[in-house]
């Protein structure tokens, strides 16, 4: 056992009884390399963080340059820092006009927390509508929204006034009223195994929120930055949220989250009370520099326009009698097997065969596929062969 492996199990807080346990020493492009020199294709992009792959030279140069200029200066929101202002300008230039003001955080979960506070502050209401099989983070407020009692129950009491409904179910429409502060949902639901909303349902949600002056919050922490085949998933449904949550790929591999709204809405956090939402490291200048560099690469290289064709290739090549169902939206797929036990065996076999795969919180019988958008057609063939070969080893 290596020293780091021993230290990992001795001094690092564990999140499960069976972590994947790879000891990675290098990540470059679409691959990671362990201490033995074995190469693994990253089929999950570090959970949708590495949309342009790992360790892009332009992103690394941006990190080095910013680190040489300055790192942390002061609590967020006090000093004018160019990496923050420049990245915020770039983001809002590629968003609808009403999403024009960015609050940078450290993570997606913190973006969720900030958005909830903003919704309560602006509406002077407390009721929140969320959805079953949803995931918005693991902090107390975000956990209150999580759509599964198994994960919530051990940490009660949580936020009061949170009501859960089924995704794509019209029952929620009757629940939105003058006491609703906000409706929060993933534009494409991730941990249920990639569930796409029905267009009419999403539009009806928008209309009901507008009718009752409730804020509509879209969580694109995983779905954003081209993952679904458009820059933002909500573009496919012609619905614009009042607040947008971003994270994961936002930082280009560095920790970064954000909630974005109209300036008139966001300014409510600056008075009554002053400092209505604060963070020390949110919008860290090195993270913003990395994120901006990665976003510019994503836009300039036109990776997003190829997503639909790559999605089609994956669906066509991943045909096997043991795959019960394939859900997909862009370069984001779930392969459903007969049981969670079977799925876990296949996932572990994929890892053994050089492919980093995983499952879904609320769909443990499914294998997660979310490769970098930089994945080539040749690599898709390579990945699919490993998956099919791994299935054949188990089934």
| Domain harbouring 163, CATH code | 3.40.640.10
Residue-by-residue pLDDT tens, the chain, 395 positions? 689 999 999 999 998 888 889 999 999 999 999 999 999 999 999 999 999 999 999 999 999 999 999 999 999 999 999 999 999 999 999 999 999 999 999 999 999 999 999 999 999 999 999 999 999 999 999 999 999 999 999 999 999 999 999 999 999 999 999 999 999 999 999 999 999 999 999 999 999 999 999 999 999 999 999 999 999 999 999 999 999 999 999 999 999 999 999 999 999 999 999 999 999 999 999 999 999 999 999 999 989 999 999 999 999 999 999 999 999 999 999 999 999 999 999 999 999 999 999 999 999 999 999 999 999 999 999 999 999 999 999 99
Query: In the chain, what is the straight-line distance between the N-terminal and C-terminal CA atoms, in Å?
Result: 32
Do the beta carbons of residue 99 and residue 244 sit within 8 Å? yes
What is the total count of domains within the chain? 2
What integer pLDDT is reported at residue 1 of this predicted model?
Answer: 67
**Whether residue 118 sits in one domain with residue 36:** no
**Whether residue 61 sits in one domain with residue 51:** no
Do the beta carbons of residue 148 and residue 129 sit within 8 Å? no
DSSP 206-252: HHHHHHTTPEEEEE-TTTTTTTTSSSSGGGGGT---SEEEE-GGGGB
| Residue 325, φ and ψ in degrees, nearest 5 | -160, 145
Contacts of 105 (CB under 8 A, 6+ apart): 111, 114, 256, 257, 258, 259, 279, 282, 283
Of 300, 322, 351, the position where a domain reaches its end is: 300
Model's pTM, two decimal places? 0.97
- Residue 22 is part of a domain; what is its CATH number? 3.90.1150.10
| Residue 254, φ and ψ in degrees, nearest 5 | -100, 155
**Whether residue 147 sits in one domain with residue 81:** yes
**Whether residue 247 sits in one domain with residue 200:** yes
Of 242, 271, 300, the position where a domain reaches its end is: 300
**Whether residue 116 sits in one domain with residue 68:** yes
Of 300, 331, 353, the position where a domain reaches its end is: 300
Name the pairing type of β-strands 358-360 and 325-328.
unpaired
**Whether residue 271 sits in one domain with residue 228:** yes
Inter-residue long-range contacts of 35-42, CB under 8 Å, 24+ positions, other chains counted:
35/2, 38/354, 39/354, 40/351, 40/354, 40/355, 40/356, 41/354, 41/355, 41/356, 41/371, 41/379, 41/382, 41/383, 41/386, 42/356, 42/371, 42/372
Q: 108: which 2 tokens? A: 């997606």
**Whether residue 163 sits in one domain with residue 78:** yes
**Whether residue 170 sits in one domain with residue 22:** no
What does the alpha-carbon distance between residue 68 and residue 248 come to, in Å, rounded to a whole number?
25
What integer pLDDT is reported at residue 209 of this predicted model?
Answer: 98
**Whether residue 337 sits in one domain with residue 357:** yes
**Whether residue 260 sits in one domain with residue 142:** yes
**Whether residue 193 sits in one domain with residue 88:** yes
Classify the C-alpha dihedral 136-137-140-144 as positive or negative. positive
Q: What is the domain range of residue 352? A: 3-55+303-394
**Whether residue 254 sits in one domain with residue 106:** yes
Q: 231: which 2 tokens? A: 């820059």
């Amino acid at each position: 056992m290596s020293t780091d492996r021993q230290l990992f199990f001795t001094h690092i807080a564990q999140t499960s009884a069976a972590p994947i346990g790879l000891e990675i020493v290098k990540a470059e492009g679409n691959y990671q390399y362990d201490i033995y020199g074995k190469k693994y294709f990253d089929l999950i992009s570090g959970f949708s963080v590495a949309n342009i792959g790992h360790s892009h030279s332009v992103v690394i140069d941006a990190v080095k340059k910013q680190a040489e200029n300055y790192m942390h200066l002061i609590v967020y929101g006090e000093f004018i820092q160019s990496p923050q202002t420049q990245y915020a300008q770039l983001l809002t230039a590629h968003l609808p006009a009403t999403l024009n003001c960015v609050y940078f955080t450290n993570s997606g979960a913190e973006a969720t927390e900030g958005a909830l506070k903003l919704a309560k502050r602006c509406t002077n209401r407390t009721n929140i509508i969320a959805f079953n099989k949803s995931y918005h983070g693991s902090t107390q407020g975000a956990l209150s929204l999580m759509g599964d009692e198994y994960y919530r129950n051990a940490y009660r009491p949580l936020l009061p006034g949170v009501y859960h409904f089924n995704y794509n179910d019209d029952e929620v429409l009757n629940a939105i009223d003058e006491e609703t502060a906000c409706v929060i949902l993933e534009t494409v639901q991730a941990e249920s195994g990639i569930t796409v909303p029905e267009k009419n349902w999403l539009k009806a949600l928008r209309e009901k929120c507008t009718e009752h002056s409730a804020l509509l919050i879209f969580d694109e922490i995983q779905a954003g930055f081209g993952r679904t085949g458009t820059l933002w998933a909500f573009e496919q449904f012609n619905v614009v949220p009042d607040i947008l949550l971003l994270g994961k790929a936002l930082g280009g591999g560095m920790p970064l989250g954000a909630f974005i709204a109209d300036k008139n809405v966001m300014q409510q956090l600056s008075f009554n009370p002053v400092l209505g939402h604060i963070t020390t490291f949110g919008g860290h200048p090195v993270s913003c520099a990395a994120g901006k560099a990665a976003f510019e690469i994503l836009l300039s290289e036109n990776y997003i326009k190829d997503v639909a064709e790559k999605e089609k290739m994956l669906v066509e090549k991943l045909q096997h009698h043991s795959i019960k169902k394939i859900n997909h939206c862009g370069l984001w797929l779930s392969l459903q097997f007969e049981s969670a036990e079977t799925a876990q065996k296949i996932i572990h076999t994929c890892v053994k065969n050089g492919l980093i795969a995983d499952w879904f919180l609320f769909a443990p019988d499914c294998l997660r596929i979310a490769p970098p958008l930089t994945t080539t057609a040749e690599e898709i063939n390579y990945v699919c062969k490993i998956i099919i070969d791994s299935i054949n080893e188990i089934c």
